[in-house]
């Protein structure tokens, strides 16, 4: 009986066991059938598209800007230090190379902890997640803590382990795990916290990084240094327990201080205004612009961009010095008496350094706090904690600003300029003190703004672009967005229109007062010249290089506003804001043009009469390097005008193969050596359209060179080149000052003014601040570029004229000077013996 009962009990147990196993199998099968469609396919992990920022480069390969999270700086498993791999595995998943995605030992040990977290805290704790499960969570799931998500992780981890090798899983994990501070992946984290590659970090730094993924936002060494240090030491302890490091290495690393700080992204050539222009052009074309890993190659030249930035900042700071010191940016309450006590002084200095963090950068000027002032020197502390001494010579420029045209007396002591607690700006002088330390001088962040844009006039490629003194202070791009009065810089276009309508460089106009009666005005309008002087009869050429307003107005009255406005549209101007009165002649009134429009227009003179389209994007490639876009902006093709395709077709033997190929490239016709093609290549630039007569371009180029040789642009003679041409620009109220000019194959416009349209002062002109900036930049831009002077075109004749009257004279007349004319507008000779010499007869005449 007992044996029978025992057999029945054993049978029941076996039956219940089988039922339990079957139930478990059915349950797991049900869970699998439910969750499997909700988890991604494992093969997608072989081609994970990691979020990668937009990277913008200069034409020579320097990183110009990044937009988006620093999601990926990819590394292979071979490029990861073994110590970092050990730190990860010893801490996160010590049986990584043994399990198949789920570590059942750790899972069993932590199950009770998970249940306890749910019952006590009402939510799940971290649980036992393997590297593979963490990878699944970071790629495919959110961060919410639920049982369903945990089961999904487990199922997907099993799938991933069947699809990828262990090293592939580990490599992907290292490249994608978050490390805080917008750094994703270990390499990005190394550069974010330590400013160097992962391979160059020491053991303490590697352990610090390995501990961050547990709590990337609150456990990184910047947001939670104490927590990060504790976690680092836990990582080191696990490494020591697993035999990955020696006891000596463990002790040395645990005693190491925290050396992490946030390093800015490694932008090699800062050009934030140019980068923002690129971003705005692409944002609507590529919806995943910030995460798709796009790489943009721009037309920006890194050397010229850095030169332009320095030139603009230096020029605006010089303007500020000329107009006086406006005082400290702020005043900190410092206990002067306590500064004499060593211990108290340390705390005060530390507080001052901490306060300096709230002051935004101002170009290359550093913020500093005055700690002590005497008659002959002051002691300051800079934002990095270093101490600076300013003597009387370094503050002597700081005459008090009274108004835009007046300054106070020169200071006779440092104490007359600085007080304890002043927050000021300082800049290195470039010289060393007697003890070999850096010498500094007092400075201030300019209120004035400026902009520079430089292009290749034959292609429209933007070589450099500076939109303001400092992008962090003013994101407004004055190159593209600041529509301002062009002042006298617009006169060349009025004169070009006049040349097209029968006026000549030798035409004489009266430089004398003008009076206009306007019913809409309460008083008569009496325009004048900048110097308030009058020169009487003046030739057009002279009026341009001396920038005489009243002659320009008389030219406009002669030609009339309508034809002038119609003509200047050839230069790319939108005339909708242009006045139809004499203000048009001097770039005033309602006129509003941007520096980009001005450099485009001057490029027409620089390239011989063609209209180009300035552009900054050269190519766009995807994360795999596939070309998505290549610029096809029109380029100047002078050969296209010299050789017509029909000429080649009629008599091919007359032309060289280079000529044939050049025309074929620009005219979309096949070269005889080309294989037949179904259609022309889509990336072939079209020829830029000719918009003004080559002869008028030649005359204007010649007249604008006189601005440099003998006019308002004479400062540029320091560059010692014969191909420089340009024009200053100053508005009547001196609210806008310009210099627009070119040399060789570089055209550059500089604008300087206040954002609120305030006047710059009675002594400020286009030659005062914009021209020196232009010279500083062009000195670098023209290095290695040969002079470019276009040959005299057919239809231009050279004639000797009277210097005062502009009338033709006999060849031997001592008052005669040579002048160029359109052949149809040349003045009549005074007698039959006078002969007009054509360009073929006079090739090397130096007019002046």
Residue of 297, 468, 488, 507 with catalytic role: 488
Residue of 92, 276, 295, 456 with catalytic role: 92
User: 709 is written with which tokens?
Assistant: 């040789």
Contacts 24+ apart (CB under 8 A), 621-628: 621/294, 621/295, 621/296, 621/297, 622/292, 622/293, 622/294, 622/295, 623/49, 623/52, 623/292, 623/293, 623/294, 623/295, 625/295, 628/294
User: 67 is written with which tokens?
Assistant: 């937009």
| Distance set, CA 81 to CA 95, 171, 198, 203, 613 (Å) | 19, 12, 7, 10, 50
Longest C-alpha distance within the chain, in Å?
Answer: 154
Residue 488: active-site member: yes
At 765, give phi and psi (nearest 5°).
Answer: -135, 175
**Residues 748 and 742 sit within 8 Å (Cβ to Cβ):** yes
Alpha carbons 106 and 98: distance in angstroms, whole number: 13
User: 660 is written with which tokens?
Assistant: 């044939």
Beta-carbon contacts of residue 626 (< 8 Å; ≥ 6 apart): none
Alpha carbons 92 and 127: distance in angstroms, whole number: 11
Report the run of H or E that residue 27 belongs to, with start and end: helix 2-35
Sign of CA dihedral 353, 359, 361, 363: negative
Residue 161: active-site member: no
* CA-based nearest residue to 244, from 396, 128, 95, 84: 84
Strands in 329-383 per DSSP E: 330-331, 366-373, 377-382
**Side by side, which strands form the sheet with 449-455?**
462-466, 449-455, 746-753, 736-743, 725-730
Alpha carbons 471 and 276: distance in angstroms, whole number: 10
Q: Is 65 exposed, middle or buried (0-12, 13-18, 19+ CB in 10 A)?
A: buried
Beta-carbon contacts of residue 504 (< 8 Å; ≥ 6 apart): 540, 806, 819, 821, 822, 825, 826, 827
For the chain, the C-alpha Rg in angstroms (whole number) is 37
Residue with tokens 């306007």: 518
* CA-based nearest residue to 529, from 606, 586, 584, 579: 586
Which 8-state DSSP code applies to residue 635?
A: B
* CA-based nearest residue to 225, from 180, 173, 176: 180
Q: Is 455 exposed, middle or buried (0-12, 13-18, 19+ CB in 10 A)?
A: buried
Beta-carbon contacts of residue 846 (< 8 Å; ≥ 6 apart): none
* CA-based nearest residue to 469, from 265, 762, 754: 754
At 186, give phi and psi (nearest 5°).
Answer: -65, -40
User: 547 is written with which tokens?
Assistant: 């920038």
Strands in 518-583 per DSSP E: 536-539
**Residues 727 and 707 sit within 8 Å (Cβ to Cβ):** yes
What's the residue count for the chain? 848
Beta-carbon contacts of residue 536 (< 8 Å; ≥ 6 apart): 510, 511, 512
User: 716 is written with which tokens?
Assistant: 């540029």
User: 679 is written with which tokens?
Assistant: 């259609």
The catalytic residues are 92, 488
């Amino acid at each position: 009986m007992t044996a029978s009962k025992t057999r029945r009990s054993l049978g029941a147990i076996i039956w219940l066991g089988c039922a339990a196993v079957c139930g478990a199998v059915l349950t797991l099968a049900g869970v699998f059938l439910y969750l499997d469609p909700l988890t991604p396919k494992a093969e997608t992990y072989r081609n994970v598209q990691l979020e990668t920022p937009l990277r913008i480069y200069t034409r020579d390969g320097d990183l110009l800007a990044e937009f988006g999270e620093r999601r990926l700086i990819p590394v292979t498993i071979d490029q990861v230090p073994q110590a970092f791999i050990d730190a990860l595995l010893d801490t996160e998943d010590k049986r990584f190379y043994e399990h198949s995605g789920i570590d059942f030992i750790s899972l069993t040990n932590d199950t009770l902890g998970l249940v306890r977290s749910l019952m006590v805290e009402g939510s799940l704790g971290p649980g036992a997640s393997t590297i593979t499960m963490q990878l699944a969570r970071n790629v495919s799931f959110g961060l919410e803590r639920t049982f369903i998500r945990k089961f999904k992780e487990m199922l997907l981890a099993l799938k991933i382990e069947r699809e990828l090798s262990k090293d592939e899983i580990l490599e992907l994990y290292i490249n994608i795990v978050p490390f805080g501070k917008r750094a994703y992946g270990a390499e990005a984290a190394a550069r974010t916290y330590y400013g160097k590659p992962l391979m160059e970090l020491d053991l303490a730094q590697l352990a610090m990084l390995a501990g961050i993924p547990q709590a990337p936002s609150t456990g990184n060494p910047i947001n939670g240094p104490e927590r990060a240090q504790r976690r680092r030491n836990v990582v080191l302890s696990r490494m020591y327990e697993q035999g990955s490091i020696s006891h000596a290495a463990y002790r040395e690393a645990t005693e190491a201080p925290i050396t992490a700080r946030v390093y800015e992204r490694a932008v090699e050539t800062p050009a934030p205004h140019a980068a923002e222009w690129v971003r705005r052009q692409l944002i609507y074309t590529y919806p995943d612009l910030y995460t798709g890993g796009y790489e943009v190659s721009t037309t920006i030249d890194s050397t010229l961009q850095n030169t332009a930035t320095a030139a603009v900042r230096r020029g605006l700071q010089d303007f500020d010095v000329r107009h006086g010191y406006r005082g400290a940016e702020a005043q900190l309450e410092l206990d002067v008496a306590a500064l004499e006590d060593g211990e108290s002084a340390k705390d005060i200095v530390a507080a001052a350094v901490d306060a300096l963090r709230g002051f935004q950068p101002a170009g290359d000027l550093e913020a500093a706090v005055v700690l002590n002032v005497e008659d002959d020197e002051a002691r300051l502390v800079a934002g990095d904690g270093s101490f600076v001494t300013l003597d009387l010579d370094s503050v002597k420029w700081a005459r008090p600003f009274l108004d835009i045209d007046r300054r106070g007396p020169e200071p006779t002591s440092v104490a007359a300029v600085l007080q304890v607690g002043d927050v000021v700006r300082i800049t290195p002088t470039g010289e060393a003190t007697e003890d070999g330390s850096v010498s500094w001088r007092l400075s201030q962040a300019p209120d004035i703004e400026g902009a520079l844009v430089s292009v290749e006039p034959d292609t429209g490629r933007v070589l450099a672009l500076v939109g303001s003194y400092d992008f962090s202070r003013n994101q407004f791009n004055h190159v593209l967005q600041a529509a301002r009065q062009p002042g006298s810089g617009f006169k060349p276009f009025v004169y070009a229109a006049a040349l097209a309508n029968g006026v000549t460089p030798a035409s004489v106009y009266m430089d004398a007062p003008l009076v206009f009666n306007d019913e809409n005005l309460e008083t008569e309008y009496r325009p004048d010249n900048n110097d308030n002087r009058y020169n009487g009869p003046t030739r057009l050429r002279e009026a341009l290089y001396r920038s005489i307003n009243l002659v320009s107005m008389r030219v406009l009255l002669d030609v009339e506003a309508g034809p002038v406005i119609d003509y200047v549209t050839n230069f790319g101007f939108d005339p909708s804001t242009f006045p139809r009165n004499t203000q048009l002649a001097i770039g005033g009134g309602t006129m509003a043009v941007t520096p980009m429009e001005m450099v485009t227009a001057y490029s027409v003179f620089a390239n011989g009469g063609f209209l180009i389209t300035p552009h900054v994007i050269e190519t766009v490639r995807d994360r795999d390097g596939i070309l998505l876009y290549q610029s096809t902006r029109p380029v100047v093709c002078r050969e296209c005008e010299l050789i017509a395709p029909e000429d080649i077709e009629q008599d091919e033997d007359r032309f060289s193969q280079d000529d044939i190929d050049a025309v074929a490239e620009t005219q979309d016709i096949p070269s005889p050596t080309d294989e037949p093609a179904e259609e022309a290549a889509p990336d072939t630039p079209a020829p830029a359209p000719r918009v003004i007569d080559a002869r008028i371009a030649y005359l204007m180029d010649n007249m604008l060179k006189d601005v440099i040789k003998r006019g308002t642009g004479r400062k540029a003679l320091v560059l010692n080149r014969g191909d420089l041409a340009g024009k200053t620009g100053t508005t009547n109220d001196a609210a806008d000052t310009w210099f627009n000019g070119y040399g060789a194959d570089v055209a550059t416009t500089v604008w300087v003014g206040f954002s609120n349209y305030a006047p710059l002062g009675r002594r400020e002109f286009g030659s005062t601040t914009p021209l020196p900036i232009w010279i500083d930049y062009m000195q670098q831009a023209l290095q290695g570029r040969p002079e470019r002077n276009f040959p005299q075109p057919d239809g231009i004749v050279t004639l000797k004229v009277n210097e005062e009257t502009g009338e033709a004279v006999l060849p031997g007349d001592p008052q005669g000077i040579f002048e160029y004319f359109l052949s149809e507008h040349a003045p009549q000779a005074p007698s039959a013996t006078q002969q007009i010499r054509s360009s073929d007869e006079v090739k090397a005449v130096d007019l002046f």
